[in-house]
């Protein structure tokens, strides 16, 4: 085995002690280490992050990265996949990032079944901007922008992705590192749009460790049974008190469809003869 470079950069880590982001980084690092062990070329992996505490992972992992802007991991990642479908693209997004600022892209990426993996670091709070509510914060959440508590009900992101046509829908939790690694690794090997909602502890603004500890429940993986998927997804609505299932709730392999974006016949490079094509178009325009 050849000497492998470290997977961690020398950037100073500035996550708070006890932050769930460490667990996500460790899981991804462990998966990448496994890939190195299989002599797989990590230069094919690209990490795309949004902006928020979660996004610092782009600085910390020593792999190709596109540290993008708030809410826009998915379009950037889609562009990368369209340009080079051989690349394995992982989006690390925040809940504010993915479910508020960039929600439109989530629905469309699921609809497109673009082949990439989304990891949402859902701490159910805006960490980096110091503690405002997000789309998954429960009713009554008191954040700095909602001091008397929010009245709106949270969205259920898993239901949203399932309804949008997502072909890999899973939930894990930073308090269950082994589960997290297994689910992320399955997501990475899924051909198509893989969505992993990770309940992430924010030690500083929304420490739900005790709450999750009592409620999370690892369930059996489900493959193509949509009814089973819906019952997993709807078991907990991010608001009321209920058991919180963790696992792969739905997985479906769509047949490769060349009409789907990302799989269009791409004639880049030597095969194309643009000059003749232009000459033919000009001829038609006389």
Partner 1 sequence: MRDVHTKRTFSSDFFAWALCGGVVGVDEVSVLIGGKAGDGINSAGALVARLFSRLGYRIYLYFDYPSLIKGGHNFAVVRATPRQVGAHRERVDFLLALDQETLRRHVAEVKPTTVVMGRSDRSQGAKVSVPVKEVLDRIGASDLMGNTCMVAAFARAAGVPWEILEEVIMAHITKETSLNIAVAREAYTGAIEVSPVPRAPGAAPPLPLLTGNEAIGLGLAASGLDLFIAYPMTPTSNLLHFLAEYATPLGLTVVHPENEIAVILMALGAAYAGKKAAVGTSGGGFCLMTEGFSLAGMAEIPVIVVMGQRAGPSTGLPTYSAQTELLFVLNAGHGEFPRLVVAPADVGEAYRWSALALQIAWDYQVPAVILVDKTLCEGSFSCGPDDLIQLPYVKPVSAGPKFPYLRYQNITDGVSPFIHPPNPLAVVKVNSYSHDEAGITSEDSGTATMMVEKRIRKGESLAEVVGSLPTVEVSGDPASRIGLICFGTMGGVCREVAEHLGIRCIRPVVLAPFPSAQVHAQIDGLTRVIAVEENATGQLAHLFAAHGIRVHHQIHRVDGRPFALEALIREVSGVIG
Ligand X SMILES: Cc1ncc(C[n+]2csc(CCOP(=O)(O)OP(=O)(O)O)c2C)c(N)n1
Q: How far is CA 88 from the centre of its chain?
A: 13
Find the distance separating the first CA and the last CA of the chain, reported in whole Å.
Answer: 62
| The token pair that represents 136 in the structure block | 């998954």
Question: Quick one: which of 50, 94, 154, 262 contacts Mg ion (CB under 5 A)?
Answer: 94
β partners of residue 206? 202
Instruction: Choose from ligand X, partner 1, ligand SF4, none: what does 234 bind? Cβ within 5-8 Å by kind.
Output: none
Instruction: Choose from ligand X, ligand SF4, partner 1, none: what does 15 bind? Cβ within 5-8 Å by kind.
Output: ligand SF4
Q: Which is nearer to partner 1, 29 or 176 (CB)?
A: 29
Q: Which is nearer to ligand SF4, 14 or 33 (CB)?
A: 14
Side-chain-facing half-sphere of 240: CA atoms under 13 Å:
5
| Segment interacting with Mg ion, rule: CB under 5 A, options 88-96, 140-148, 244-252, 272-280 | 88-96
User: Is the CB of residue 51 less than 8 Å from the CB of residue 97?
Assistant: yes
Question: Quick one: which of 24, 31, 45, 53 contacts ligand SF4 (CB under 6 A)?
Answer: 53
Query: How do 168-173 and 244-251 pair as beta strands?
Result: antiparallel
CA distances from 210 to 69, 213, 237, 238 (A): 32, 5, 18, 15
DSSP 167: S
Does 134 participate in binding ligand X (rule CB under 6 A)? yes
Q: Which is nearer to partner 1, 32 or 199 (CB)?
A: 32
| The token pair that represents 78 in the structure block | 């889609």
Question: Quick one: which of 32, 169, 202, 216 contacts ligand SF4 (CB under 6 A)?
Answer: 202
Instruction: Choose from Mg ion, ligand X, ligand SF4, none: what does 97 bind? Cβ within 5-8 Å by kind.
Output: ligand X
Q: Closest distance between partner 1 and the C-beta of residue 101, in Å?
A: 10
Of 25-84, binders to ligand X (CB under 6 A) are 51-54, 70
User: Is the CB of residue 176 less than 8 Å from the CB of residue 149?
Assistant: no
d(CA 45, CA 106): 21
Go through the chain and tell me how many residues it has: 286
Q: Closest distance between Mg ion and the C-beta of residue 60, in Å?
A: 17
d(CA 91, CA 74): 7
- Please give the residue ranges that form the binding site for partner 1 (CB under 8 A): 5, 9, 11, 41, 43-44, 46, 48, 51, 56, 58-59, 62-69, 72, 74-84, 86-87, 104-105, 107-108, 261, 264-268, 271-272, 274-278, 280-286
- Please give the residue ranges that form the binding site for ligand SF4 (CB under 6 A): 15-16, 19, 21, 53, 123, 127, 202-205
């Amino acid at each position: 085995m050849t000497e492998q470079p470290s997977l961690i950069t020398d950037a100073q880590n500035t996550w708070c002690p006890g932050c769930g982001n460490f667990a996500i980084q460790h899981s991804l690092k462990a998966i990448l280490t496994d890939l190195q062990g299989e002599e797989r070329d990590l230069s094919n992996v690209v990490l795309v992050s949004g902006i928020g505490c979660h996004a610092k992972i782009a600085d910390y992992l020593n792999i190709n990265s596109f540290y993008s802007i708030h809410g826009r991991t998915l379009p950037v990642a889609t562009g990368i996949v369209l340009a080079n479908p051989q690349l394995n693209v992982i989006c690390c997004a925040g809940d504010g990032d993915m479910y508020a600022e960039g929600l439109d892209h989530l629905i469309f990426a699921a609809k497109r079944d673009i082949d990439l993996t989304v990891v949402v670091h859902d701490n159910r709070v805006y960490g980096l901007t110091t503690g405002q509510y997000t789309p998954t914060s429960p009713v009554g959440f008191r954040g700095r922008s909602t001091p008397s508590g929010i009245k709106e009900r949270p969205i259920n992101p898993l239901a949203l992705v399932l309804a949008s046509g997502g072909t890999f829908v899973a939930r894990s939790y930073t308090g269950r590192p082994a589960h997290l690694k297994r689910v992320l690794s399955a997501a990475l090997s899924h051909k198509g749009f893989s969505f992993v909602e990770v309940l992430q502890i924010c030690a500083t603004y929304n420490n739900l460790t005790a709450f999750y500890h009592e409620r999370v429940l690892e369930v059996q993986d489900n493959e193509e049974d949509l009814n089973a998927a819906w019952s997993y997804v709807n078991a907990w609505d991010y608001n009321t008190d209920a058991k919180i299932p963790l696992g792969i709730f739905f997985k479906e392999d769509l047949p490769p469809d060349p009409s789907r974006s990302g799989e269009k016949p791409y004639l880049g490079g030597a095969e194309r003869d643009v000059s003749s094509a232009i000459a033919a178009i000009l001829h038609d325009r006389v």
